[in-house]
Amino acid sequence: VDARDGKLAMAHFYVFIVALAIGGLAGLLQTLVRSGKFELPFGIGYYQLLTLHGVVLALVMTTFFIMGFLHAVVSKTAGAYTNRQRTLAWIGFALLTIGTILAAIMILLNEASVLYTFYAPLQAHAVFYIGLTLVIVGSWVGSAAVFMKYGQWRKANPGQTSPLLTFMAVITLMMWDIATIGVATTVLFQILPWSLGLVETINVGLSRTLFWYFGHPLVYFWLLPAYMVWYAIIPKIIGGKIFSDSLARLSFVLLLFFSIPVGIHHQLVEPGIDPAWKFIQVVLTFLVVIPSLMTAFSLFATFENYGRSQGAKGLFGWFKKLPWGDARFTITFIGMLGFIPGGAGGIVNASHQMNALVHNTIWITGHFHMTVAFAVILTFYGVAYWLIPHLTGRILTKKMNKLAMIQGITWTIGMIFMSSSMHIEGLLGAPRRSAFSDYGGAAQAAEWIPYQIAQAVGGSILFISIILMVYVFINLAFFAPKGEQEFPIGEVAKGAEKTPLVFDNWKLWLGISVVLIIFAYTLPLVDLIQNAPPGSKGFKLW
Ligand code: HAS
């Protein structure tokens, strides 16, 4: 990566590691409070802490890591940024950082205890929303740099297929930009005027629907960078080849199509949305599962092909040939493995009848710890172990590789403890987002307590893992021996078909995406506006 772009990416990663440390501490306190054995000091509120934990980890840490990673990947595969592109990316970074600081101050002042989903009817101080708006605008400006680089590459290489990783970065950011229009709309036109006291009421159903229009693709904004690693970087690390460039691109295009028109699967029990639209969006949700199944197929094929090329025999002989001593691989592989139960849980959530059982229970919290906090974050750790030294001109030594391995394994143990007990407790009916209570000595609530203690055990192990991560990060950024750490980029397998040029046809992909969104959202939004609560004024936004 060009040294100047490397600095840009590193700036993002410094915020990432600080966010991990703060959010992780809040997570530890969270599990301790829920175990019933600990009370929060200094008058800190339960929801204040939960908001801090969710916003800092789910929104801030992920966004900074992803933007830093995408800038590095694009600079590496499509060429160094021009001065203009780099300036834009820095402006994006500055906006992200200022927005984060504003939002964090409001949370710390207990003026924004509205959870990471921050939709109405919970209301925060206007500065919190202004901060989040800056975060979104910052990500738009950052993505403009990526789009410009891609355009420049296309112009310089007419008739050629774009580099796979740059293509994937463009899809990820396009999806993100389209999705954030929803949350920006509700924040600017509904929530901010309401929070500033300019209007007295708010159309809650509409606000939540606009939020979830963004909220679901948000989870794929987290996932897609991990998929970039699984498809295009892991094959190189293991010494193998990418199974198929076209299949990888197709799965990204399908994720662009189907990740947005499915937000209503988060609202299956909410009033105001016709069941027919809930049904349609559930069907679309099952379509968004397909690219993930394609990904699983492609990964198995990559691993098996590599193993067989090394002489592996039998059905699973290839498994033994994988480079288990390499933390970059092993940690990421465990993340992939975790995505199997994580994804299966998602399919349960999306199944309308089963959703009624798990919705708003702590099962959902278990689901997203298994997907984002386990599969995705382990992959990000795996990336940090080669990308940080690559960017700082250092190397991952054997000793640090060992520590990285311990870090990944402690994360795995902690997350298994925490997430599986959340899943079981959820099936026993325990609500999510509630402080400890014995519910007046109810027998049902007594059944939940052992699982809450298991979560505190998991949370403590996770915190140890975070301390290790911070230690290795600091070592790789400032103290590891100087040297050249490889930026691994996989090559496509020899037998794979040539990638058709149609993949760079954005009019087609964006056109289909827009049609799907219009189809899935127009009537539900019209209904929500027309059937606004009595007393709603003006455009029925409030
Ligand atoms: Fe989800 C709620 C449905 C994926 C995150 N989800 C959430 C929330 C979050 C979240 C944060 O339909 C809570 C939001 C809140 O606070 O209220 N989710 C799905 C579905 C999928 C899915 C169908 N979710 C994710 C991902 C997330 C994430 C990814 C973060 C990164 N989710 C839901 C629904 C709700 C929900 C409902 C609302 C519930 C409610 O009522 O509130 C699918 O995309 C999953 C597809 C995945 C697969 C797995 C493929 C496996 C692969 C690994 C291969 C492994 C290999 C290694 C090759 C089908 C690719 C193996 C080697 C061996 C040796 C075995």
In tens, the pLDDT along 283-313 reads 999 999 999 999 999 999 999 999 999 999 9
**Measured in angstroms, how far is the CA atom of residue 45 from the centroid of ligand 1?**
30
Complete DSSP assignment for 127-183: HHHHHHHHHHHHHHHHHHHHHHHHHHHHHHSTTSPPPHHHHHHHHHHHHHHHHHHHH
pLDDT at 535 over 80: no
- Distance, in Å, from the CA atom of 413 to the CA atom of 395, rounded to the nearest integer, reads 27
Whose alpha carbon is nearest atom 8 of ligand 1? 368
Residues 6+ apart with CB under 8 A from 221: 62, 66, 172, 175, 176, 179
Q: What is the pTM of this model?
A: 0.96
- Is 266 part of a structural domain of the chain? yes
- Distance, in Å, from the CA atom of 523 to the CA atom of 527, rounded to the nearest integer, reads 6
Which tokens hold the place of 369? Answer: 């710890």
- Closest atom, ligand 1, to C-alpha of 319: 64
Provide the annotated active-site residues.
216, 220, 367-369, 432-433
pLDDT of amino acid 12: 98
Bridge partners, 492 (sequence order): 242
Whose alpha carbon is nearest atom 32 of ligand 1? 346
- Distance, in Å, from the CA atom of 29 to the CA atom of 166, rounded to the nearest integer, reads 39
Mean pLDDT for the stretch of residues 53-70: 96
Share of the chain above pLDDT 90, in %: 90
Pocket perturbation via mutation, ligand 1, pick of 213, 288, 292, 295 by most ligand atoms within 8 A of CB: 292
- Distance, in Å, from the CA atom of 119 to the CA atom of 352, rounded to the nearest integer, reads 23
- Is 540 part of a structural domain of the chain? no
Residue matched to tokens 């021996």? 481
- Confidence category of residue 365, pLDDT binned at 50, 70, 90: very high
- Is 538 part of a structural domain of the chain? no
* CATH code, 212: 1.20.210.10
- Is 120 part of a structural domain of the chain? yes
Question: How many angstroms separate the Cα of 6 from the Cα of each of 339, 393, 415?
Answer: 30, 10, 31
- Is 327 part of a structural domain of the chain? yes
pLDDT of amino acid 508: 96
Question: Is there a contact between 487 and 403 (Cβ–Cβ < 8 Å)?
Answer: no
- Distance, in Å, from the CA atom of 475 to the CA atom of 264, rounded to the nearest integer, reads 44
Quick one: how far is CA 304 from the chain centroid?
A: 28
**Measured in angstroms, how far is the CA atom of residue 283 from the centroid of ligand 1?**
15
In tens, the pLDDT along 481-533 reads 999 999 999 999 888 888 999 999 999 999 999 999 999 999 999 999 998 88
- Is 349 part of a structural domain of the chain? yes
How many domains, the chain?
1
Pocket perturbation via mutation, ligand 1, pick of 288, 298, 368 by most ligand atoms within 8 A of CB: 368
- Distance, in Å, from the CA atom of 379 to the CA atom of 329, rounded to the nearest integer, reads 9
Query: Domain limits at 263?
Result: 3-530
Question: Is there a contact between 335 and 378 (Cβ–Cβ < 8 Å)?
Answer: yes
**Measured in angstroms, how far is the CA atom of residue 174 from the centroid of ligand 1?**
20
- Is 336 part of a structural domain of the chain? yes
Question: How many angstroms separate the Cα of 5 from the Cα of each of 11, 71, 277, 521?
Answer: 10, 7, 45, 39
Mean pLDDT for the stretch of residues 63-78: 97
- Is 109 part of a structural domain of the chain? yes
pLDDT of amino acid 51: 95
pLDDT at 157 over 80: yes
CB within 6 Å of ligand 1 — which residues?
Answer: 117, 219, 222-223, 265-266, 285, 288-289, 292-293, 295-296, 299-300, 336-337, 339-340, 343, 346-347, 349-350, 355, 359, 364, 367-368, 371-372, 376
